[in-house]
């Protein structure tokens, strides 16, 4: 019975990680389980489970960053973990702790990512 599901999981990888995670309930190992970006398969309770594990090897640890949700994160790795855990659109806005709304608008207006203060205020103001 388990071999049938293992083959089915391997052939179902093109449906994405959600299908693979669902079908992995019948698996005994992580073999063939595709968890998707920033996730790895780990055995938990005798079953394979996809868990967040962003690759932070080339990142500076302990330097705060401000996320696109206006929250300050311990470092970029912590932000990537939050992204993996359910905030797929989360991005680093700038290095350092998040500023007040007015300071944030000034930082973004001076950024090359935006064309001018009016577009910043329209988006965030």
Q: How many domains does the chain have?
A: 1
Q: What is the CATH number of the domain that holds 78?
A: 3.30.60.30
Of 45, 48, 90, the closest CA to residue 66 belongs to 90
Classify residue 123: in a domain, yes or no: no
Classify residue 17: in a domain, yes or no: no
Classify residue 3: in a domain, yes or no: no
Question: What pLDDT is recorded for position 37?
Answer: 85
Task: Report the chain's C-alpha Rg in angstroms.
Answer: 20
The span from the CA of 88 to the CA of 90, in Å, is: 6
Q: Spell out, as residue ranges, where the chain has pLDDT lower than 70.
A: 1-26, 101-125
Q: What is the pTM of this model?
A: 0.56
Helix (H, G, I), strand (E, B) or coil at 93: strand
* Beta pairing partners, 65: 73, 95
Q: For residue 54, give its domain range.
A: 39-99
């Amino acid at each position: 019975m388990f071999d049938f599901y293992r083959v089915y999981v391997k052939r179902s990888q093109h449906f994405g990680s959600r299908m693979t995670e669902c079908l992995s309930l019948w698996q005994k190992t992580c073999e063939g389980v595709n968890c998707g970006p920033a996730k790895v398969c780990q055995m938990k309770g005798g079953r394979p489970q996809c868990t967040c594990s962003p690759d932070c090897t080339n990142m500076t640890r302990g330097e705060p960053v401000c996320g696109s949700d206006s929250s300050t994160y311990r470092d970029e790795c912590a932000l990537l973990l939050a992204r993996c855990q359910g905030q797929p659109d989360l991005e680093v806005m700038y290095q350092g702790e998040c500023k007040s709304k007015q300071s944030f608008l000034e930082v973004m207006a001076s950024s090359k990512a935006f064309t001018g203060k009016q577009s910043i205020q329209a988006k965030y103001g």
